[in-house]
Amino acid sequence: MNTIVSIRHLSKIYGSGETEVRALDDVSLDIETGEFLALMGPSGSGKSTLLHIIAGIDRPTEGECHVQGIDVAKLSESQLADWRNENVGFIFQTFNLIPVLTAAENVELPLLLTAVPPSRRGEMVAAALDLVGLSDRARHLPRQLSGGQEQRVAIARAIVTDPNLIVADEPTGNLDANSAEAVLDILRALSCEVGKTVIMVTHDPRAASQGTRSLHLEKGRLLQEKVTQQAV
Protein backbone atom coordinates (compact mmCIF):
# COMPACT_ATOMS: atom_id res chain seq x y z
CA MET A 1 0.00 0.00 0.00
CA ASN A 2 1.03 3.62 -0.52
CA THR A 3 1.38 6.07 2.33
CA ILE A 4 -1.07 8.98 2.00
CA VAL A 5 -0.31 10.69 5.34
CA SER A 6 3.15 10.84 6.90
CA ILE A 7 3.51 12.58 10.28
CA ARG A 8 6.83 13.10 12.05
CA HIS A 9 7.41 14.53 15.53
CA LEU A 10 4.20 16.54 15.41
CA SER A 11 3.33 18.81 18.34
CA LYS A 12 0.63 21.41 18.85
CA ILE A 13 1.09 23.83 21.74
CA TYR A 14 -1.44 26.35 22.99
CA GLY A 15 -0.44 29.16 25.34
CA SER A 16 3.00 29.57 26.91
CA GLY A 17 4.74 29.36 30.25
CA GLU A 18 2.48 28.17 33.05
CA THR A 19 -0.55 28.18 30.75
CA GLU A 20 1.12 26.04 28.07
CA VAL A 21 -0.96 23.09 26.91
CA ARG A 22 0.46 20.41 24.61
CA ALA A 23 -2.57 19.24 22.64
CA LEU A 24 -0.21 16.97 20.67
CA ASP A 25 3.18 15.85 21.93
CA ASP A 26 5.75 14.40 19.50
CA VAL A 27 3.34 12.28 17.44
CA SER A 28 4.65 10.24 14.52
CA LEU A 29 2.62 7.87 12.32
CA ASP A 30 1.90 6.80 8.76
CA ILE A 31 -1.55 6.26 7.27
CA GLU A 32 -1.90 4.11 4.18
CA THR A 33 -4.13 4.75 1.18
CA GLY A 34 -7.48 3.02 1.64
CA GLU A 35 -7.25 2.70 5.42
CA PHE A 36 -10.25 3.26 7.68
CA LEU A 37 -8.46 4.64 10.72
CA ALA A 38 -10.22 5.36 14.02
CA LEU A 39 -8.70 7.90 16.43
CA MET A 40 -9.83 7.33 20.01
CA GLY A 41 -9.23 8.92 23.37
CA PRO A 42 -10.89 10.94 26.13
CA SER A 43 -11.91 14.57 25.68
CA GLY A 44 -8.80 16.73 25.47
CA SER A 45 -6.60 13.84 24.31
CA GLY A 46 -5.65 15.59 21.05
CA LYS A 47 -7.52 13.38 18.60
CA SER A 48 -9.56 16.18 17.01
CA THR A 49 -6.47 18.40 16.91
CA LEU A 50 -4.61 15.68 15.02
CA LEU A 51 -7.54 15.26 12.63
CA HIS A 52 -7.69 19.02 11.99
CA ILE A 53 -3.96 19.23 11.24
CA ILE A 54 -4.16 16.33 8.79
CA ALA A 55 -7.12 18.04 7.09
CA GLY A 56 -5.40 21.40 6.91
CA ILE A 57 -7.83 23.12 9.29
CA ASP A 58 -5.12 23.74 11.91
CA ARG A 59 -1.34 24.04 11.78
CA PRO A 60 1.22 22.28 13.98
CA THR A 61 3.60 24.11 16.30
CA GLU A 62 6.39 21.63 15.61
CA GLY A 63 7.00 18.72 13.25
CA GLU A 64 5.74 17.82 9.80
CA CYS A 65 2.50 16.55 8.30
CA HIS A 66 2.74 15.43 4.69
CA VAL A 67 -0.45 14.49 2.86
CA GLN A 68 0.04 13.00 -0.60
CA GLY A 69 3.63 14.26 -0.43
CA ILE A 70 2.67 17.87 0.41
CA ASP A 71 3.64 19.49 3.71
CA VAL A 72 0.26 21.12 4.29
CA ALA A 73 1.55 23.35 7.10
CA LYS A 74 3.72 25.21 4.59
CA LEU A 75 0.85 26.17 2.28
CA SER A 76 -0.50 29.71 2.33
CA GLU A 77 -4.10 30.24 3.44
CA SER A 78 -5.35 30.52 -0.15
CA GLN A 79 -3.33 27.50 -1.24
CA LEU A 80 -4.63 25.59 1.76
CA ALA A 81 -8.25 26.41 0.93
CA ASP A 82 -7.79 25.18 -2.65
CA TRP A 83 -5.97 22.06 -1.44
CA ARG A 84 -8.71 21.20 1.06
CA ASN A 85 -11.46 21.58 -1.52
CA GLU A 86 -9.67 19.29 -3.98
CA ASN A 87 -8.33 16.65 -1.61
CA VAL A 88 -10.36 16.42 1.61
CA GLY A 89 -13.99 15.60 2.34
CA PHE A 90 -15.33 16.67 5.75
CA ILE A 91 -18.01 14.96 7.87
CA PHE A 92 -19.07 16.55 11.16
CA GLN A 93 -21.07 15.37 14.17
CA THR A 94 -23.63 18.17 13.69
CA PHE A 95 -24.11 17.56 9.93
CA ASN A 96 -23.68 21.30 9.09
CA LEU A 97 -26.32 21.26 6.37
CA ILE A 98 -27.83 24.58 5.25
CA PRO A 99 -31.52 24.38 6.24
CA VAL A 100 -32.93 26.38 3.31
CA LEU A 101 -31.21 24.20 0.69
CA THR A 102 -32.39 20.80 -0.52
CA ALA A 103 -30.29 17.69 -0.05
CA ALA A 104 -29.04 17.98 -3.63
CA GLU A 105 -28.20 21.67 -3.22
CA ASN A 106 -26.27 20.95 -0.02
CA VAL A 107 -24.29 18.23 -1.77
CA GLU A 108 -23.54 20.55 -4.68
CA LEU A 109 -21.97 23.27 -2.54
CA PRO A 110 -18.32 22.07 -2.74
CA LEU A 111 -18.62 21.85 -6.53
CA LEU A 112 -19.48 25.56 -6.74
CA LEU A 113 -15.87 26.28 -5.78
CA THR A 114 -14.55 24.27 -8.74
CA ALA A 115 -14.53 24.67 -12.51
CA VAL A 116 -16.96 21.78 -13.00
CA PRO A 117 -19.74 22.92 -15.41
CA PRO A 118 -23.36 22.96 -14.16
CA SER A 119 -24.43 19.99 -16.29
CA ARG A 120 -21.64 17.84 -14.89
CA ARG A 121 -22.33 19.05 -11.34
CA GLY A 122 -25.83 17.58 -11.53
CA GLU A 123 -24.45 14.20 -12.55
CA MET A 124 -21.89 14.21 -9.74
CA VAL A 125 -24.51 15.18 -7.13
CA ALA A 126 -26.84 12.42 -8.32
CA ALA A 127 -24.01 9.86 -8.15
CA ALA A 128 -23.05 10.90 -4.62
CA LEU A 129 -26.64 10.74 -3.35
CA ASP A 130 -27.08 7.36 -4.99
CA LEU A 131 -23.96 6.03 -3.27
CA VAL A 132 -25.41 6.90 0.15
CA GLY A 133 -28.86 5.57 -0.79
CA LEU A 134 -30.71 8.89 -0.88
CA SER A 135 -31.57 9.43 -4.53
CA ASP A 136 -35.25 9.65 -3.58
CA ARG A 137 -34.56 12.44 -1.05
CA ALA A 138 -32.71 14.81 -3.38
CA ARG A 139 -35.40 17.52 -3.24
CA HIS A 140 -36.03 17.25 0.51
CA LEU A 141 -34.94 19.96 2.94
CA PRO A 142 -32.90 18.92 5.99
CA ARG A 143 -35.93 19.36 8.31
CA GLN A 144 -37.73 16.74 6.21
CA LEU A 145 -35.00 14.18 6.85
CA SER A 146 -34.11 12.01 9.82
CA GLY A 147 -30.81 12.54 11.61
CA GLY A 148 -29.33 9.50 9.90
CA GLN A 149 -30.45 10.77 6.50
CA GLU A 150 -28.95 14.19 7.22
CA GLN A 151 -25.62 12.59 8.02
CA ARG A 152 -25.77 10.55 4.82
CA VAL A 153 -26.38 13.80 2.89
CA ALA A 154 -23.31 15.20 4.66
CA ILE A 155 -21.31 12.15 3.53
CA ALA A 156 -22.51 12.69 -0.04
CA ARG A 157 -21.36 16.31 0.20
CA ALA A 158 -17.97 15.12 1.49
CA ILE A 159 -17.40 12.73 -1.41
CA VAL A 160 -18.95 14.66 -4.31
CA THR A 161 -15.60 16.19 -5.37
CA ASP A 162 -14.02 12.69 -5.31
CA PRO A 163 -11.38 13.47 -2.64
CA ASN A 164 -8.79 10.87 -1.70
CA LEU A 165 -9.06 11.66 2.01
CA ILE A 166 -12.25 11.73 4.11
CA VAL A 167 -12.09 13.02 7.69
CA ALA A 168 -14.99 12.41 10.05
CA ASP A 169 -15.24 14.01 13.51
CA GLU A 170 -17.63 11.96 15.69
CA PRO A 171 -19.87 11.18 12.66
CA THR A 172 -22.17 8.90 14.69
CA GLY A 173 -22.26 10.99 17.87
CA ASN A 174 -25.77 12.37 17.28
CA LEU A 175 -27.31 9.22 15.82
CA ASP A 176 -29.29 6.27 17.12
CA ALA A 177 -27.78 2.80 16.86
CA ASN A 178 -29.40 1.87 13.53
CA SER A 179 -28.53 5.18 11.85
CA ALA A 180 -24.99 4.99 13.21
CA GLU A 181 -24.55 1.51 11.75
CA ALA A 182 -25.77 2.72 8.34
CA VAL A 183 -23.26 5.58 8.39
CA LEU A 184 -20.42 3.26 9.42
CA ASP A 185 -21.39 0.84 6.63
CA ILE A 186 -20.99 3.68 4.12
CA LEU A 187 -17.63 4.76 5.53
CA ARG A 188 -16.41 1.16 5.51
CA ALA A 189 -17.51 0.76 1.88
CA LEU A 190 -15.76 3.98 0.87
CA SER A 191 -12.55 2.55 2.30
CA CYS A 192 -12.79 -1.11 1.31
CA GLU A 193 -14.62 -0.85 -2.01
CA VAL A 194 -13.84 2.62 -3.35
CA GLY A 195 -10.31 2.96 -1.96
CA LYS A 196 -10.81 6.20 -0.06
CA THR A 197 -8.76 6.86 3.05
CA VAL A 198 -11.10 7.49 5.99
CA ILE A 199 -9.91 8.98 9.28
CA MET A 200 -12.55 9.04 11.99
CA VAL A 201 -12.49 10.54 15.48
CA THR A 202 -14.80 8.68 17.85
CA HIS A 203 -15.45 8.03 21.55
CA ASP A 204 -17.36 4.85 20.72
CA PRO A 205 -15.40 1.57 20.77
CA ARG A 206 -18.13 -0.06 18.67
CA ALA A 207 -17.67 2.55 15.96
CA ALA A 208 -13.88 2.25 16.15
CA SER A 209 -14.11 -1.52 15.72
CA GLN A 210 -15.55 -0.99 12.23
CA GLY A 211 -12.28 0.49 11.00
CA THR A 212 -9.21 -1.37 9.83
CA ARG A 213 -7.01 0.18 12.55
CA SER A 214 -7.48 2.23 15.69
CA LEU A 215 -5.10 4.56 17.50
CA HIS A 216 -5.55 5.72 21.09
CA LEU A 217 -4.38 9.14 22.23
CA GLU A 218 -4.11 10.47 25.75
CA LYS A 219 -2.69 13.84 26.79
CA GLY A 220 -1.46 14.41 23.26
CA ARG A 221 0.51 11.18 22.89
CA LEU A 222 -0.15 7.95 21.02
CA LEU A 223 -0.57 5.10 23.49
CA GLN A 224 -1.58 2.06 21.49
CA GLU A 225 -2.39 0.77 18.07
CA LYS A 226 -4.89 -1.94 17.25
CA VAL A 227 -5.49 -3.68 13.95
CA THR A 228 -9.06 -4.92 13.75
CA GLN A 229 -10.25 -8.25 12.38
CA GLN A 230 -11.42 -6.58 9.18
CA ALA A 231 -7.84 -5.74 8.27
CA VAL A 232 -6.72 -9.37 8.52
- What is the CATH architecture assignment of 34-57+76-231? 3-Layer(aba) Sandwich (3.40)
Where in the chain are the domains?
A: 34-57+76-231
The 10s digit of each residue's pLDDT in 167-190 is: 999 999 999 999 999 999 999 999
- What is the CA angle 115-98-145, rounded to 5? 115
Query: What was the pLDDT predicted at 232?
Result: 39
Q: How far is Cα 44 from Cα 7, in angstroms, rounded to an integer?
A: 20
The mean pLDDT of 195-213, rounded to a whole number, is 94
Q: Is the pTM of this model over 0.85?
A: yes
State in Å, rounded, how far the first CA of the chain is from the last one: 14
Helices (H), the chain: 47-54, 77-87, 103-108, 118-131, 147-159, 177-192, 205-208
Query: What was the pLDDT predicted at 228?
Result: 59
Q: Which residues pair with 83 in a beta bridge?
A: none
Handedness of CA 93, 159, 46, 13 (dihedral sign): negative
Query: What was the pLDDT predicted at 117?
Result: 93
